[in-house]
Amino acid sequence: MPTESYAPVLPPPQVSMSLLGWLRLHLFSTWYNTLLTLGLVGGLVLVLPPLWHWIFAVAHWQAVTINLRLFLVGLYPSDQVWRPGVLLILLAWLCGGSTAPNHGMMRHVSAPLGAGFVLLTCLLTGSARGIVGGAALALLVGYGLRWRWPHTSRLWHIGWLLSAPVVLIVLGGIEGTGLSPVATTQWGGLMLTLLLAAVGIVASFPLGLV
């Protein structure tokens, strides 16, 4: 009985390209690509020097540090800032857990989000540094848990659905629960904007299916 022989499957050949070859292929392949590349380089030469001068010599960055709390949480009561901080850590944890098996949108969102958390942790001081650093750590922990147990997607989905009412309840507060009521007119700042945006995105999925 004749035996069939199969040719070995070889990997694709490795094509090496010099820097000049890469530039020629991607930036100077046609006359209009050459014009676009030269125009972009010329624009950067005109824009970057004055921008550099403004950032390091003209801009008054002390206004940012003085009003940092206002930028982050708006008019939210100072003795209750821990509430949006805890919610930020919770949502970062859910985001990390939703990223591990996902190679699409969530990964593109979580990577810059984690980098932003790390950068802000280095720039901020006091309790704000602790909150943002905790969010960065929570994102990594959520990623690690989902990577370790990849078949728990239903639990993470439930967590996202529950996060919407939890965020609204914790931010707004309920009389008699230890969470003093905070009017929505006092909700604002970057941190609260991120929280409310996450709630809106999560709530939009079931509403869009109805």
**The residue to which tokens 């969530």 are assigned:** 106
Put simply, whether the predicted model's pTM sits higher than 0.75 gets the answer: no
pLDDT in tens, 132-159: 899 899 999 988 888 888 888 888 888 8
Rounded Cα–Cα distance for residues 142 and 149 (Å): 11
pLDDT in tens, 27-85: 888 999 999 999 999 999 999 999 999 988 998 888 877 887 888 888 888 888 889 88
Question: Over 60: is that where the pLDDT of 206 sits?
Answer: no
> Hey, where are the domains in the chain?
19-59, 65-209
Rounded Cα–Cα distance for residues 155 and 7 (Å): 47
pLDDT in tens, 100-141: 666 566 667 777 888 888 888 887 777 888 888 998 999 999
- The burial of 139, by beta-carbon neighbours within 10 Å (0-12 exposed, 13-18 middle, 19 or more buried), is given as buried
Rounded Cα–Cα distance for residues 7 and 89 (Å): 54
The residues pairing with 133 across neighbouring beta strands, listed in sequence order, are none
Give which of 118, 123, 110 is closest to 136, Cα–Cα: 118
